[in-house]
Amino acid sequence: MTPPRRDGCLLDVENVDVAYGQIQVVWGAQLGVRRGEIVSVIGPNGAGKTSTLKAIAGLIPARCGKITFDGNDVTRESAHQRVSRHLSLIPEGRQLWPRMTVEENLLMGAFPAPLRSRAHDNLHRIYEQFPRLKERRKQMAGTLSGGEQQMCAIGRGLMAEPVLLLLDEPSQGLAPIMVEQVFELIRGIAAGGVTILLAAQNANYSMQISQYTYVMEWGRVVLEGPSDELRSSDHVRRAYLGASP
C-alpha cells in the first residue's frame, strides 16, 4: 500500500481507532488531505467510513491515534471547537430539522457566536449559490425533495465558513439525475476554495471528482492512491466500479 501522506496536509489522521463502547469499528485509520483537494473515502456499507468522519469532526472520540487539522492537534477537542476552526461535517442522511424552514435550517449552520455577525451575508451567498433554496426559503425542510434537502444540508454546512468540509454519503437515496447534480455541486464548492473529504459508496462519481482516494474495508484502510490510478486497480474495478472479473 502507498505510504501514508504526511507532509503538507491540512488534515492528518494518524493511526486512529474508533469504538462504540467495547465494539471497535475502525483500526489504525491513516488519511491525509491536502489543502484545495477533494479526497474520497470509498467502501461498502459498514466499512467504517462514517465512524471515521465522525471521529474527525469530534462527534465520537478517537480511542487512540492523533488527528491534526491545520497544524493543530484536535484529537481531544470537542466538536464545537473544531467547528470554530472551520471544520464542518455534513452528516449522512442530511439530518435537517423537518419542522423548521429552509432558512431557519441554514441559519443554524451559523449558530456559533463568532459566525452570527456574518450570518446574513453568508445566507445571501448561499442563496446565490443555491437559487432553489432561495425559492424554498420559507418552506418546511421536511417537505423538500431529497435533492433539495441535500442542497439545504450542504448550504447549512457552508454557513460555518469551512476550510475543510466533510461530506458523508451525499448521494444517498437520490434519483440518478440528482446524484450527478450533487457531485457537480461538490466539484463547484471545491473550485471555490473549500477542501473536501468525501465518504461515499458511489465510487464511480466520487473517484471522478476527487484527486486522491482511500478504500476502507472492515474498518481498515486497505488501499490508497491518486484516484485516476486507483480506477485502474483490478480490485477497485471489480468491487466498486462494476467491472467483470
| Whether the Cβ atoms of residue 154 and residue 173 lie closer than 8 Å to each other | no
Best-predicted range by mean pLDDT (51-65, 87-101, 175-189):
51-65
Amino acid at 119: A
Mean pLDDT of the chain: 92
The β-bridge partners of 217 are 220
Work out the average pLDDT over 19-29: 96
Question: How far is 135 from 127, CA to CA, in rounded Å?
Answer: 9
Tell me what pLDDT residue 105 has.
94
**Higher pLDDT, residue 196 or 118:** 196
Which is nearest to 218 in space by CA: 50, 27, 21, 30? 27
Number of neighbouring beta carbons within 10 Å of residue 192: 10
Q: Is 116 exposed, middle or buried (0-12, 13-18, 19+ CB in 10 A)?
A: exposed
The β-bridge relationship of strands 38-42 and 212-217 is: parallel
pLDDT tens-place string over residues 182-192: 899 999 999 99
121-138 tens-digit pLDDT = 999 999 999 999 999 999
Farthest CA pair distance, the chain: 56
243 has pLDDT over 70: no
- Phi and psi torsions of 242, nearest 5°: 80, 20
Cα–Cα distance measured from residue 145 to residue 193, given in angstroms and rounded to the nearest whole number? 28
Torsion sign, CA atoms 152, 215, 85, 164: negative
Give the pLDDT score at 1: 54
Task: State residue 123's pLDDT score.
Answer: 94
Would you say residue 5 has pLDDT above 80? no
Distance, in Å, from the CA atom of 35 to the CA atom of 30, rounded to the nearest integer, reads 17
Residue of higher predicted confidence among 28 and 95: 28
pLDDT (mean) for 58-77: 96
pTM attached to this predicted model:
0.91
Q: Which of 79, 102, 238 minimizes the C-alpha distance to 159?
A: 102
Query: Which CATH number does the domain 1-86+164-176+198-245 belong to among 3.40.718.10, 3.40.50.2300, 3.40.50.300, 3.40.228.10?
Result: 3.40.50.300
How distant is the alpha carbon of residue 42 from its chain centre?
12
Q: What ranges do the domains of the chain cover?
A: 1-86+164-176+198-245
